Amino acid sequence: MLSLRKSVWFGFHKVNHSDYPKKQGLYDPHYEHDACGMGFVVDVGGRKSHAIIEQAMQVLLNLEHRGATGSEKNTGDGAGILFQLPHRFLVRECARQKIKLPQPGEYAVGMVFLPTAEESGRQCKRQFAKIIREEGQSLFGWRRVPTDNSMLGASAKASQPVIEQVFIRRGQDVSDELDFERKLCIIRKRITKAAKRGIHERGTFYVSSLSCRTIVYKGMLIANQLSAFYPDLRDGDVESALALVHSRFSTNTFPSWARAHPYRYIAHNGEINTLRGNINWMRARESKFRSKFFGSELHKILPVIDSDTSDSGMFDNVLEVLTLTGRSLPHAMMMMIPEPWTADQSMSAEKKAFYEYHSCLMEPWDGPAAIAFTDGIRIGAMLDRNGLRPARYYVTKAGLVILASEVGVLDVPPEEILCKGRVQPGRMFLVDTESGRVVDDDELKRAVATQYPYAEWLRNNQLSLEEFPSPPDTPVQNSSTLLEQQHAFGYTSEELKLLITPMGAHGEEPVGSMGTDTPLAVLSERPQLLYNYFKQLFAQVTNPPVDAIREDLVMSTDTTIGPEANMLEPAPECARQIRLPSPILTNEQLNKLRHLGDAGQGAAGVKFKSITLPMLYEVNGGERSLEAALTELCRQSAAAIAGGYGVIILSDRGVDKDKAAIPALLAVSSIHHYLIREGTRTQVGFVVESGEPREVHHFALLLGYGAAAINPYLVFDILRDLTAQRHLGVDIDHTISNYLKAINKGIVKVISKMGISTIQSYCGAQVFEAVGLREDLVDRYFTWTPSRIGGVGLEVIAEESRLRHKQAFPEGSEPEQSLIEGGQYQWRRKGELHQFNPESIHKLQHACRTNNYETFKEFSALINDQSRQLHTLRGLMELTPLAGPIPIAEVERASEIVKRFKTGAMSYGSISREAHEALAIAMNRIGARSNTGEGGEDSERYTAEANGDSRNSSIKQVASGRFGVTSNYLVNANELQIKIAQGAKPGEGGQLPGHKVSAAIAKVRHSTPGVGLISPPPHHDIYSIEDLAQLIYDLKNANDRARISVKLVAEVGVGTVAAGVAKAHADVVLISGYDGGTGASPLSSIKHAGAPWELGLAETHQTLVLNNLRSRITIETDGQLKTGRDVVIAALLGAEEFGFATAPLVSLGCIMMRVCHLNTCPVGVATQDPELRARFSGDPSHVINFMNFVAQEVRELMAELGFRTINEMIGHTECLTMRLGIEQWKARGLDFSNIVHRPAMPDTVGRYCQIKQENEVEKSLDHTVLLERCKPALEHGKQITATFPIRNADRAVGTMLGSHITRAHGADGLPPDTIQLTFKGSAGQSFGAFVPRGLTLTLEGDANDYVGKGLSGGRILVYPPKDSTFQAHENVIIGNVAFYGATGGEAYISGIAGERFCVRNSGVLAVVEGVGDHGCEYMTGGCVVVLGPTGRNFAAGMSGGFAYVLDEKGDFIIRCNRAMVEVTGIDDASEIELVKNMIFRHAEYTGSRRATEILVSWDEMTSRFLRVLPNDYKRVLEGEKGSANFALPVVEMRVKSADVSG
């Protein structure tokens, strides 16, 4: 079965639909991501017309900016349309070929991509005909679809298939349309499989659609090419009542006609994060499949999932099978993307039961998604539980529904609009053309949920562990062997002290700082646990991580265990499983499972038993014995399944002198994959009973490779021991529950980093990358896990186990009385190696302080020379000159080289002002760049010092918290860096605790001293690649002189993400290593998330070269760079700029205390304590010396290699070889050929940045119209008033104009209302972003996402068109994430806003008439008045500011997240006055009817307002005033004569 991997996973580049470059080097086509815009148009009454097609095409055109082009402007990533079979048109066309089509429903049409080679094409068609016949249908014939490729780009043209339509007549014995669809599915699956075997020439065979109801026209096109390419689409006879369109943004540029959307049932904007697990589980379930609809033919549609397609295609595959086997489309959608049901108190009981029941059938397909779906009769859309993609709709009075990723995609006169809405997170929106109506989520789901008595089925079948009686004999610890056990499993005193004790005492995973500088597991001399060879993957750019703390309503740790039944047919016994509240089991819980089915013990209703299999092997037998034990375990598991056991407990209890534990991860994964191959995996659940797992990463891995639950008995024993010695300060029950809490929280955090919300779907999802495991090992035991540089095999794993085992059972002597030290987190002489150790720190500091290059060389020798002790991958590389050396005088000067150097992003807040400014001054002096980090910058620093020094950081970071990101901040940068992820904790946010928020820090962050600040894990305006493109566009508008950089962290697949970044027009992409420093991060993230930069950088360079995008973007890298050799290797692997953070800090005095998070840095570097800051002894000259030393060492190496300039050197991996004769027992298995691979591309393909990214900003409304119009205001402060039309393609309107105001007039801008611009229509994304004081933007119409993002003092007014008739306050008027990170200004929105209104607002005063989920999330200041309903999770993470909510229905309280806020009425007169004034202004500015109504009955309305006030903020405000009287925001009143109160 090993061949499975090759044929299934990487198969699609060999033969088939695409011309992707084959897997080579570190590039792997599998990691391609895409996202997009999608939409549909439907006539609710089902009236067919060509207008629907035309309108859908118009929608597609207006979504064009959400798609992308690659290095060729006229080659798009894909566009397509799905609609009903155009019967009239087809009849006409077929008639020409003498085919007479029968009535609709009696025939089907397939849209087929055929190979261009004629013989292959003929062969495919012959096959097709044969299969159609065999399946009892008949072939009418083929129609060549006319195409016009004249406008296509070269690569699209080159890969264009022959496109034909096949016509099939329904067979006699096919009863109805659905049955026909089943037959067609069988035919399609069979022909696809046959073609895969049959076509040997390069070429495409693909069936876009084959249906009696719908047809798909798609291709590798730009939106505006679709109708030109397919003349059919312009034919007036092509009619449909519905049409679904999609425009694709792929992260690379390789041609793929087949991967354009729509698929047969869906168009998808999003991606599936749990895909690997979903595929495996689906495959594993197939052996249990039975369907009355398919009967004996079922095998023909298996495997369900076509491994050659994308994640969306796979989703489509499963959806298809679920519907063809009898479920409705909405039902199948609800199964695959369930709402979060576990914690939702407002969900109806039957709906909860529906979801709970279906969770026994399949795990969620988890990830961001806006999916539009149709079966040709019903068309709908659904969002994932987080609502991570937008979907807005209009319903017109004429019965048309337009739904799309944006509003304004189709012009509809305002008076014709019946209502405007948005699809909400987890919700569905459906139009049924048969019944001719729009079905809302509630009705739809109620109907589905009540189809069967799910609650009853659950009640009678499902069991909860709590209900089981306790067996009497829960094992207790044997303290005499405790030490022995700890030795055997490799515990260190450091782990006890730094990991286990804090978790037991406080229930929190411990935090550390300053990254990691220990060797990878494969390089370490010390025996490593197998877990350490795996790195966690995480979400970046193409999907967002989830905030598992503030948005815990979407998270779930619930899981079930037990054999699964046939998922295709609903039946009570499918629920026959045991529900576990958490995957970590106490000894007692495990014991209950162990006694399942025992006489007298088994709970009633359990129909399966459990069996315990020993996870032990004869340690002295080494590899052979380990392998035999694994084989035996697999055999025993299969036998257990055959024997009717539903739960297998894998146990390593019983380690003794001869028997060691099989590494639990190895045991679990190998059985998991063995049973998947056997097709019996879902008939059994695994529980691991092991002494090995202790930290979060271990548990995450065990779950990720298929364990359902884990009992870490040895940790419990250790906790018991520590408690007995009173080291934890809590009793044993609390200790264990604290530990479980910490681990559960940690696991949830790990899964949320990948954007996964439920442990159930994480189970088996394998979202890990192996670093240092050999291919044969991975193929056999960790199938489908990426492992790219070879490494150790089973023999080393066995040896590592033996070494640990020997600690416990040393030959001829007693084991050590105390544990070994460890030294992973804190350096120890006899512990793990660290690059920064006493010697190297001393040498570096001494060199930099005395400006002594000789001493620096001693330092760099300690780092570079790894011939004795291995530290890094690059340490194993050898520099080999291609030609002879050159004189060093000919090499580029050091003063030029240092300009490529940067200091890392470290915020003022994480490090002291002294250290922060020393870095800035140093880098400015030498023409290099320092980085603000996340946290703003004091504007005083923008002015140069008298001596010429500048404290202004050249690079200004834009991170998820957007602290201090004002217009003024942005215009004062040379480079703007979007931090997607950070090496030490990719996928995580951060927190600055209140005690670190000093007055000075609060000032630059625009927050309140003493109030804690939260940086969310995702940027709430980047949930996808097209969102990133939008932010880049926004920032270019906010400062058109700055380079835009995107910071990513190395992980497998980062290359394709970087390609997407390049296509999103960023100027720089930064690839950070996993090992970089941090101010504070969970220890498991520091060690286990992300990959070394050598891998990420090389993959990025290779992928960009293959895409011909490399020449458009600068690559920067960082992560423990310390020496000139590091820089040279980075350049050879493809980098042209280089970041340093830890080393410059050390040069300034940092002594790697790793206590940055405690604020106790004793050398004044990473602390805000004034007393400690006084100890800072660094000087800019120290940093300058360091940079010069590195540059000098670079020059020396360049001279040896024969390179005169850095540019010459970039990407020359031929100069890198892996050192020969590496004898280290683990590292000798490594193979760097993938890292040093050079893609064979023509010389015309640039290998470093030579071409400036296209500046689309020049086409913006601001650049073309507004700037000129507003010149008098900019130059002379004259008042300007003007009106313009606006459409959704006009994005970031006002932003560039705002930046000019700031440039000319500074942070304070102009007097309010100096420029007043009114726009009519639908505004594109980021309307009014970063607009400063003096600019008032009025929008009459509606707006898309990100309105007023980063608003910096300006004023934004939005109201519906005057001639619209709908009720503004009942309709959605602006999109998601409005006023994100805004620091000041005012906003009045007459209508409902989408999700995350005013997220991380720190100063805006806003009035709105209703908001979606997560309103005022992370808010730190400002004031928000909501005059209508709010969504769920209002005020999550809100630490400052005020919100006032009109709670007419009295149910606000259940939708408010009160973890950090209090909700009260308002009785203070001045507060009442404030709210009234704001509403008054709202009425005045927007003419809001709602506001007027409220003001009219103000006295009775006041009691219905609730105040939301963060606890911290209240405490600080009260402290300030010494009373409960708060400093309320001041609203200047400018009462017009109109009397609104009467």
Partner 1 sequence: MGKPTGFMEHPRSVPMVRPAVERVTDWREFHGHSDDTELQNQGARCMDCGVPFCHTGNVLGGAASGCPINNLIPEWNDLVYRGRWREAFDRLRKTNDFPEFTGRVCPAPCEGSCVLGVNDNPVTIKRIEQAIIDRAFDAGWVMPQPPSGRTGKRVAIVGSGPAGLTAAAQLNQSGHCVTVFERADRIGGLLMYGIPNMKLEKSVVQRRTDLLAAEGIEFVVNTSVGRDYSVDRLMGEFDAIVLCGGAARPRDLLLDGRSLSGIHFAMDFLHLNTKSLLDSNQRDGRFLSAKDKDVIVIGSGDTGTDCVGTALRQGCRSLVQFEILSKPPETRAPDNPWPQWPKVYRLDYGQEEAAALFGRDPRTYSIMTKSFVGDKDGRLKSVRTVGIMWSKDENGQFQPVEIDGTEREWRTQMVLLALGFEGPETEGLLTQIGVALDDRGNVATDEDKMTSVSKVFAAGDMARGQSLVVWAIADGRHAARGADKFLRGGRT
If one asks whether residue 1248 binds partner 1 (CB under 8 A), the answer comes out as: no
Residues 6+ apart with CB under 8 A from 1043: 974, 975, 976, 1067, 1068, 1114
If one asks whether residue 842 binds partner 1 (CB under 8 A), the answer comes out as: yes
CB closer to partner 1, 850 vs 1264: 850
* DSSP conformation letters of 622-671: HHHHHHHHHHHHHHHHHHHHHTTEEEEEEE-TT--SSEEEPPHHHHHHHH
If one asks whether residue 839 binds partner 1 (CB under 8 A), the answer comes out as: yes
**Interface segment toward partner 1; rule CB under 8 A; list 344-352, 391-399, 1071-1079, 1154-1162:** 1154-1162
Cβ atoms of 462 and 415 within 8 Å: the answer is no
Residues 6+ apart with CB under 8 A from 44: 395, 399, 400, 401, 431, 433, 436, 437, 438
CA dihedral 11→15→16→22, nearest 10 degrees, is 60
If one asks whether residue 1086 binds partner 1 (CB under 8 A), the answer comes out as: no
CB closer to partner 1, 649 vs 844: 844
- Which tokens hold the place of 1365? 């008739």
CB closer to partner 1, 262 vs 1164: 1164
- Which tokens hold the place of 1338? 């009025």
What is the smallest separation between the CB atom of 743 and partner 1, expressed in angstroms?
Answer: 20
Site string for partner 1, 482-521 (x = CB under 8 A): -----------x---xx---------------x-------
Return the DSSP state at 1390.
S
CB closer to partner 1, 138 vs 837: 837
Q: Which of 228, 879, 894, 1153 binds partner 1 (CB under 8 A)?
A: 1153
Cβ atoms of 967 and 1302 within 8 Å: the answer is yes
Given the residues 36, 360, 1161, 1398, select the one marked as catalytic.
36
Return the DSSP state at 6.
I
Return the DSSP state at 273.
T
If one asks whether residue 1244 binds partner 1 (CB under 8 A), the answer comes out as: no
**Rounded distance, CA 871 to CA 521, Å?**
10
What is the smallest separation between the CB atom of 835 and partner 1, expressed in angstroms?
Answer: 11
Residue 36 known to be catalytic? yes
3-state SS, one letter per residue, for 832-894: CCCCCCHHHHHHHHHHHHHCCHHHHHHHHHHHHCCCCCCCCCHHHEEECCCCCCCCHHHCCCH
SS3 label, residue 196? helix
If one asks whether residue 479 binds partner 1 (CB under 8 A), the answer comes out as: no
CB closer to partner 1, 849 vs 1482: 849
**Interface segment toward partner 1; rule CB under 8 A; list 164-172, 1152-1160, 1180-1188, 1252-1260:** 1152-1160
What is the smallest separation between the CB atom of 818 and partner 1, expressed in angstroms?
Answer: 5
Q: Which of 347, 553, 797, 1163 binds partner 1 (CB under 8 A)?
A: 1163
Q: Other C-beta atoms within 10 Å of 1536: how many?
A: 8
| Residues between 616 and 635 with contacts to partner 1, criterion CB under 8 A | none
**Rounded distance, CA 1378 to CA 784, Å?**
41
**Interface segment toward partner 1; rule CB under 8 A; list 124-132, 248-256, 278-286, 840-848:** 840-848
| Residues between 797 and 826 with contacts to partner 1, criterion CB under 8 A | 812-814, 816-818, 821, 825-826
If one asks whether residue 911 binds partner 1 (CB under 8 A), the answer comes out as: no
Q: Other C-beta atoms within 10 Å of 176: how many?
A: 10
Question: H/E element holding 1061?
Answer: helix 1054-1063
What is the smallest separation between the CB atom of 806 and partner 1, expressed in angstroms?
Answer: 15
What is the smallest separation between the CB atom of 274 and partner 1, expressed in angstroms?
Answer: 37
CB closer to partner 1, 1145 vs 1456: 1145
Cβ atoms of 315 and 368 within 8 Å: the answer is no
**Interface segment toward partner 1; rule CB under 8 A; list 425-433, 586-594, 844-852, 1226-1234:** 844-852
CB closer to partner 1, 393 vs 836: 836
What is the smallest separation between the CB atom of 517 and partner 1, expressed in angstroms?
Answer: 10
CB closer to partner 1, 591 vs 845: 845
If one asks whether residue 947 binds partner 1 (CB under 8 A), the answer comes out as: no
What is the smallest separation between the CB atom of 156 and partner 1, expressed in angstroms?
Answer: 54
| Residues between 1166 and 1205 with contacts to partner 1, criterion CB under 8 A | 1169, 1171-1172, 1175, 1177
Cross-strand pairs, 931: 905, 955
What is the smallest separation between the CB atom of 611 and partner 1, expressed in angstroms?
Answer: 40
Cβ atoms of 1032 and 1294 within 8 Å: the answer is no
If one asks whether residue 1160 binds partner 1 (CB under 8 A), the answer comes out as: yes
**Interface segment toward partner 1; rule CB under 8 A; list 67-75, 828-836, 915-923, 1524-1532:** 828-836
**Interface segment toward partner 1; rule CB under 8 A; list 352-360, 838-846, 963-971, 1027-1035:** 838-846
CB closer to partner 1, 674 vs 836: 836
CB closer to partner 1, 821 vs 1196: 821
What is the smallest separation between the CB atom of 809 and partner 1, expressed in angstroms?
Answer: 14
Return the ∠ at Cα 828 (arms to 822 and 834), rounded to 5°.
Answer: 90
If one asks whether residue 30 binds partner 1 (CB under 8 A), the answer comes out as: no
What is the smallest separation between the CB atom of 1175 and partner 1, expressed in angstroms?
Answer: 5
What is the smallest separation between the CB atom of 1377 and partner 1, expressed in angstroms?
Answer: 38
| Residues between 1368 and 1427 with contacts to partner 1, criterion CB under 8 A | none
For partner 1 (CB under 8 A), the number of binding residues is: 45
**Rounded distance, CA 265 to CA 267, Å?**
7
Cβ atoms of 541 and 564 within 8 Å: the answer is no
Measured in residues, the chain has a length of 1542
If one asks whether residue 827 binds partner 1 (CB under 8 A), the answer comes out as: yes
SS3 label, residue 908? strand
Residues 6+ apart with CB under 8 A from 1235: 25, 26, 788, 789, 873, 1094, 1095, 1098, 1133, 1213, 1216
**Interface segment toward partner 1; rule CB under 8 A; list 9-17, 245-253, 834-842, 1261-1269:** 834-842
Q: Which of 503, 841, 1406, 1424 binds partner 1 (CB under 8 A)?
A: 841
Cβ atoms of 1182 and 848 within 8 Å: the answer is yes
Centroid of chain to Cα 1039: 27
Considering only CA atoms, which of 1364, 1362, 1425 is closest in space to residue 1393? Answer: 1425
Angle, helices 329-336/349-359, rounded to nearest 10 degrees: 70
- Which tokens hold the place of 1318? 């009114």
What is the smallest separation between the CB atom of 854 and partner 1, expressed in angstroms?
Answer: 14
CB closer to partner 1, 483 vs 1463: 483
- Residue type for 501, please? T
CB closer to partner 1, 788 vs 913: 913
Q: Which of 1152, 1209, 1392, 1427 binds partner 1 (CB under 8 A)?
A: 1152
Residues 6+ apart with CB under 8 A from 997: 909, 1005, 1007, 1008, 1009, 1010, 1011, 1012, 1013
If one asks whether residue 230 binds partner 1 (CB under 8 A), the answer comes out as: no
What sign has the CA pseudo-torsion 86, 88, 92, 97?
positive
Cross-strand pairs, 614: 651
CB closer to partner 1, 138 vs 1177: 1177
Residues that bind partner 1 (CB under 8 A): 493, 497-498, 514, 725, 727, 812-814, 816-818, 821, 825-830, 834, 836-839, 841-842, 845-846, 849-850, 1149, 1151-1155, 1158, 1160, 1162-1163, 1169, 1171-1172, 1175, 1177
Catalytic residues: 36
